[in-house]
Amino acid sequence: MRLPSLILLVILSFISPLESVRICGPHFLSLGPEAYYMKRSKQGGSWQDGWLYGIRGNYEKLRSTGLYFSADGYWATGELEGKSKSGNTLKSDISEYQAEGRLGFSITFPESCCVTWVPYAGYGYFSSDIDFVSPSTLEYKSTSSFWYFASGGMLLVSINDCWNAGVHFKYKLPDEPKHTIENDPDYGKLVLSIGRKALYEIELPVRYRTCLSGRQVGLIFTPFYRFRRYDSQANYPFDFYDTRFHIWGARLLFQVIL
């Protein structure tokens, strides 16, 4: 590899990694593990943090220029630990999942080049279960769930026939999010409304593509950051307090190109 190409590869790997776009396919099937660190903080001072581990699957229909479609989902589970606003220990088991469909189009600039822009809109469902366990002062289960609208785009760059990079930004707007509490010692089961706030995600994946037993395959390493916020909302018998999640993670997917 010539020195200028090597320098470009190193720069893109640290600054703006994602997927490919000497696009063949047009069908891409991906599956692999995902892990992320979560910091959860609540209005008033309580907080928790911890690691979640899970799996993600994805299907994409993508050409250099034309219709874009994707179906994507993940599931993850882990433990969070922290302190309440009064200093008491908090411990919980957490699991969450998401399913999403996206529809858009792809444009290559110019058609013979290696840079492609893919804007899209989508719709999906998200659910997160947090089960507070001993030594937490109160032991109960809470579930935050909502349907959401999504919009975003991918800027895809092909470095050579094997290495590809880019950036993917997504904006999500929940539709009537709800927070369900079960096993509350005073009220049993409650359903609270959550203040609606936009959610953001940014992904910086890098893909290596090769040929295995006559079929094109690839490995995609994707670091990502997600910001999730549930805004405060007046409810009965008590209000929902502003809650924020900062999430840093990565995944490694094996991909088959059809």
Domain ranges of the chain: 24-158+167-202+222-257
**CA distances (Å), origin 222, targets 35, 92, 189, 232, 245:** 11, 27, 39, 32, 20
At residue 252, the pLDDT reads 98
Q: What is the pTM of this model?
A: 0.85
**CATH no. for 24-158+167-202+222-257:** 2.40.128.100
The contacts of residue 138 (CB under 8 Å, 6+ apart) are 132, 185
Beta bridge partners, 22, equal none
pLDDT tens for the 258 residues of the chain, in order: 454 444 444 433 333 333 334 555 689 999 999 999 999 998 888 999 999 999 999 999 998 889 999 999 999 999 999 998 888 999 999 999 999 999 999 988 765 568 889 999 999 999 999 999 999 988 889 999 999 999 999 998 888 878 889 999 999 999 999 989 888 777 788 888 888 889 999 999 999 988 777 788 999 999 999 999 988 777 666 667 789 999 999 999 999 988
The residue behind tokens 């999403």 is 100
Q: Strand pairing partners for 20?
A: none
pLDDT at 1: 46
Phi-psi region of 114 (alpha: psi -120 to 50; beta: other; left: phi over 0): alpha
Task: Identify which of 43, 42, 37, 140 has the alpha carbon closest to the alpha carbon of residue 92.
Answer: 140
Q: What is the pLDDT of residue 93?
A: 97
DSSP H helical segments within 69-205, as ranges? none
Residue 49, H or E segment: strand 47-61
pLDDT of residue 113: 62
Q: What pLDDT score was predicted for residue 253?
A: 98
Amino acid identity at 185: P
Q: What pLDDT is recorded for position 217?
A: 92
